[in-house]
Structure 1
C-alpha cells in the first residue's frame, strides 16, 4: 500500500483540505439551522419545505448538466468561486431573510455552493490521491470535509445561536466561507503546474 503522508505533506493538499473544512463548516449552518431560522421568522412549514426543494432540484440539475459548466474554469478556480458564492449565500440568508425572492436566489446558489463544490472536490481528490491512494483520499475527504465540520459546526452554531441569535449563525458561516475562499486560493497558487 503506497504511503499517504507524502501527499499530505504537499502544501497545496493541506490548503485544499483546509478549504474543504471551512466550506462545509459554512454549509452546516444551512443543514442544521436553516429550518429553525425560517420557523423563528414566521415562515410556514410549506414555505420552508419549498425552499429546501428548490435547492435539491437545483442540485440535481447541476449534476445532470455539470459537464457543460465544469470546463469554464480550472478545478481550483471552481473552489474559489464556490466559496465566494457561499459567502454571498450566507450574507443573503442572514441579511435579507424576509425578502422571499432573495431567499429563493440564495437557495438556488446551492448548485454552486454544494453540487459544484462536491464535484470539484472529488476530482481534486482523484488528482492528488491517484490509483491505490484514492480510497484513502476519499476517506480523508469524508472525515475532514464532513465529519469534523459537522461536529464543530453543530456545537459552535448552537452556541452562537443561543448567545447571539440564529441570524448570527449565518453571518459566522459567511465568514467561514470567506476563510474557505482564502484557503482555496492559497491551494490554487501552490498547485503544481
Structure 2
C-alpha cells in the first residue's frame, strides 16, 4: 500500500503540471470590441481610454475623450509595399520596367520620376555598369543626390582611379509604402 501512494502522488503531480503548461484556452483570451470606421465614428459617448479594434484598417484605436486615435501598433505585421524596378540605358532611355519615367539631366545625371508617388520615402538601390560587360568586372557606381516619395536623382561615375562622372547603364529597385 505504501507503493501506491507515491505512484498516486506522481500521477496527480503530472496531471497538475500538464494543466499548467497547456496552451491558453481561446475563451480565456481578452478580445477587444470590433467596429468598422463608420461604426466607430458613430459612437457618441465613450469613456476616455476606451479601446477597440477597427476592422476597416486593422488598427487598434483609443478614445482620448474627444476623438478616436489609432495606436502605433498595427495588427498586421506586414507592410503594404510597392515595388518599382527598371533598367535604364546610358542615354537615359528605358530598357525594361514600368511605373517610372527617366530624364537625362546632364552628362551622367539621371532623374527617375515614379508614375505613382510612394506613400512614404522609398528605399532605392542601384547597380551600374556597361550592359555589354555584365559578365566582366565593372567598377562604375551611382550616388543618389536627391530622393523623395516621387523622384530620385542619381549621378553615375567610373571608379577606375579617376572617379570621373560617366554616362552609364544602370538598373534599380525602389521599394516603399503604397
Q: Normalized against structure 2, the TM-score is what? A: 0.24
Higher share in strand: 2
Structure of greater relative contact order (alpha carbons < 8 Å, 6+ residues apart): 1
Higher share in helix: 1
